[in-house]
Amino acid sequence: MKAARCEVYGGPENIVIRDIPDPVVKPGHVVVDVAAAAINFPDLLFIADKYQMSIPVPFTPGNEFSGRIAEVGEGVSGFAVGDAVYGSVPQGAMAEKALVAVEALTLVPDGLSMVEAAAFRVTYLTGYLSLVTAGNVRPGQWVVVLGAAGGVGTATVDIATRLGARVIAAASSDDRLAVAKELGAEAGVNYATENLKDRIKEITGGGADLVIDPVGDRWAEPALRAITWGGTFVTLGYAGGEIPRIPLNLVLLKNVTVRGLELRTWIARLPEATAAAKAGLAELIAGGLRPRVSETHPLDDVAVALQRVADRVPTGKVVITVTEGARNA
């Protein structure tokens, strides 16, 4: 099969396309003919060997995919050959076939295309769990979403709006803020040109109830300083580069709750919360929610697609179309 390969750690330009052996099905797993695979920011960290855990080279990048089941392993129930599914793998989604553990599979719901389904699992589960389980969001509350035009950001803005929260989007340009406003954000702060803390306080009139932060770096602290007494700050990642060091007195003085959320371990350790999130997301899909796919690229252009994510160009998710026609399937 054809697969994207990371053979040497480094930037997107190092990713090559190779012919490698097809995966062999094993108990508790299925082999999926991949239709589409979505990019997440951590893909850039994995190929550069900068993620918290190292993947030995050579490997096929990619955590999330959609496709059709080609083979079913021993002991698998609830899925059959031909089913349209989406899901996640530790690595290996950017290939024509993927070996997937049955727990990581979901049937594609009515109304989602293969491209949308590929873009759904990681960012939308992260957004939902951070808002509902970690953030305990309530209708009418002010929610600040940093990196609001990115993959996690657009998902979180969309979900928060649909749950009745009042969303302040924060991003690095007015064009990117416009995207978040299309998804329902009531206000925007351009953190490249405006004072993030002052603007959040001004807009809310007393501080935000909840901050969702996938960016970190120099934006985490001003956002935390703009939280109201008793509010919550959820840290998701550090796309900005630096892991911020926050003075603890800021947490004490306003009785702020700081929560961390790491999707893989939450799914493994909090099955009930994960099931509730999936059910909540299914309701939102039935109500019209669709992943925001900003652009698609063929498998041969994985390096180009990864570079665009590194350059902060996309607004929403970038999807690799592996089979012809995945875009409309």
Ligand X SMILES: NC(=O)c1ccc[n+]([C@@H]2O[C@H](COP(=O)([O-])OP(=O)(O)OC[C@H]3O[C@@H](n4cnc5c(N)ncnc54)[C@H](OP(=O)(O)O)[C@@H]3O)[C@@H](O)[C@H]2O)c1
| Chain positions contacting ligand X, by CB under 6 A | 40-42, 122-123, 126, 147, 149-153, 171-172, 176, 214-215, 236-241, 261-263, 309, 312
Closest contact distance (angstroms) between CB of 233 and ligand X is 14
Degrees to nearest 5, angle at CA 148 with 147 and 150: 70
Contact 231, 254 (CB under 8 A): yes
Question: Closest CB to ligand X among 114 and 215?
Answer: 215
Q: Which amino acid is at 198?
A: D
Question: Closest CB to ligand X among 7 and 182?
Answer: 182
Q: Which residues are CB-contacts of 26 (< 8 A; sequence separation ≥ 6)?
A: 73, 74, 99
Closest contact distance (angstroms) between CB of 315 and ligand X is 8
Contact 116, 33 (CB under 8 A): no
Closest contact distance (angstroms) between CB of 159 and ligand X is 13
Closest contact distance (angstroms) between CB of 119 and ligand X is 10
Question: Closest CB to ligand X among 137 and 236?
Answer: 236
Question: Closest CB to ligand X among 18 and 269?
Answer: 269
Closest contact distance (angstroms) between CB of 131 and ligand X is 13
d(CA 64, CA 8): 22
Closest contact distance (angstroms) between CB of 227 and ligand X is 19
Q: Determine how β-strand 166-171 pairs with β-strand 187-190.
A: parallel
- The two tokens of residue 62 are 């990619």
Question: Closest CB to ligand X among 149 and 223?
Answer: 149
151-162 and 121-128 helices cross at what angle (nearest 10)? 50
Contact 170, 204 (CB under 8 A): no
Contact 4, 39 (CB under 8 A): no
- By beta carbon distance, the residue nearest ligand X is 150
Question: Closest CB to ligand X among 139 and 241?
Answer: 241
DSSP 148: T
Question: Closest CB to ligand X among 37 and 70?
Answer: 37
Question: Closest CB to ligand X among 69 and 234?
Answer: 234
Closest contact distance (angstroms) between CB of 196 and ligand X is 11
Which uninterrupted H or E stretch holds 227? strand 227-235
Closest contact distance (angstroms) between CB of 317 and ligand X is 7
Which of helix, strand or coil describes residue 274?
Answer: helix
Q: How many residues does the chain have?
A: 329
Q: Where are the alpha helices (DSSP H) in 254-317?
A: 263-269, 271-286, 302-310
- The two tokens of residue 25 are 């099905």
Which of helix, strand or coil describes residue 205?
Answer: coil
Residue whose entry in the numeric block shows the structure tokens 């009930």: 272
